[in-house]
Amino acid sequence: MTPRQKLAAVFAVPSHTWQDAPAVVADYLKLVSRFGMEETLRTWAEEYVRHHAGRCLWDAEFLTSNYQFINCINVGGAPFIFEYLIKQKLQHLDLLSLDIDPSRFPHVEDTLGITVVNIDIESPESSNSSLLNRFQCIVFCEIFEHLRIDLLGTMYFLKTLLATDGFLYLTMPNGIGKLALHRWMRGRTGPDPVSEWIKLRDLGHMGHVREYSYAEAHDVLVHSGFHVEKYIYRNKIGSLSDRVLTRAVPILSDEIVIVARKAT
């Protein structure tokens, strides 16, 4: 592919939008209060739902509209808003949620009727033979940028969980999107390291370690034994000028959505 063809391919990738879902937020916040969390974690969960329910709704609608699967594993489920939404659309879905410490949410399984398993995907002890080659869909939304130990090893582990016909659904912030560029103009190369790392102490899980471009995520996936079937850019719906900009230059969008499968 010539440089001109590569540039044309970048601009050919579509950019989609999602918007707030106040009705979902209102309904789900009533359930969050029943999870049995301590106050700091509950405050985080409520804020997460307010800011991300619309994005999680977009994920659930995109998956159920474009793919067929009878089982699914969601990595890093907390605060479990995606589980709530996907089960509304696929009531008989065999759904498993992974969390680094489910004891933080003592009543979530009973409240939502889901199964939450204590697995740290960055730990070599995470391997469980009953999970290998099992899942038709692995949901890996807004987790890639949190990985802090062994990025390649973690992605390889995820591949071992996929069934032969399965797919990985990965979403992440765009490390070269317009919000990232705004940070750069303020003298920052990424999210504030203090506020992100302190989450380990305050919440029990890591914040953003680094945000990547599509090209960087693609290289990691290929090295780990995947091939990218599809990728698109995405934004929370914003001002008219933002919509015009990201429609004209999709690579400046703030989020990336990737669908990948095992390489043959």
Which structural domains are found in the chain, ordered by start? 3-262 (3.40.50.150)
| pLDDT at residue 15, as a whole number | 85
| pLDDT at residue 123, as a whole number | 83
Cα 219–123–149 angle (5° rounding)?
50
| pLDDT at residue 131, as a whole number | 84
For residue 147, which of 92, 89, 224 has the smallest C-alpha distance? 224
| Structure tokens, 177 | 């999107």
Query: Which tens digits make up the pLDDT trace of 93-152?
Result: 999 999 999 999 999 999 999 999 998 888 866 556 678 889 999 999 999 999 999 999
Answer yes or no: pTM beyond 0.95.
Answer: no
Residues of the chain under the 50 pLDDT cut? none
| pLDDT at residue 128, as a whole number | 67
Could you give the strand order of the β-sheet that contains 115-118, starting from the edge strand earlier in sequence? 15-18, 226-236, 255-262, 162-173, 135-141, 71-75, 94-99, 115-118
The half-sphere exposure of 136 on its side-chain side, counting CA atoms within 13 A, is 10
User: Are 112 and 31 within 8 A, CB to CB?
Assistant: yes
Phi, psi of 118 (to 5 degrees): -85, 95
b/e per residue 191-201 (b: at least 16 CB within 10 A): beeeebeeeee
Q: Which positions ≥6 away from 13 have C-beta within 8 Å?
A: 231, 232, 233, 250, 251
User: Are 82 and 74 within 8 A, CB to CB?
Assistant: yes
Cα 224–85–251 angle (5° rounding)?
50
Q: What is the DSSP letter of 135?
A: E
| pLDDT at residue 13, as a whole number | 79
| Structure tokens, 80 | 């479990």
> Collapsing DSSP states into helix, strand and coil, what is residue 72?
strand
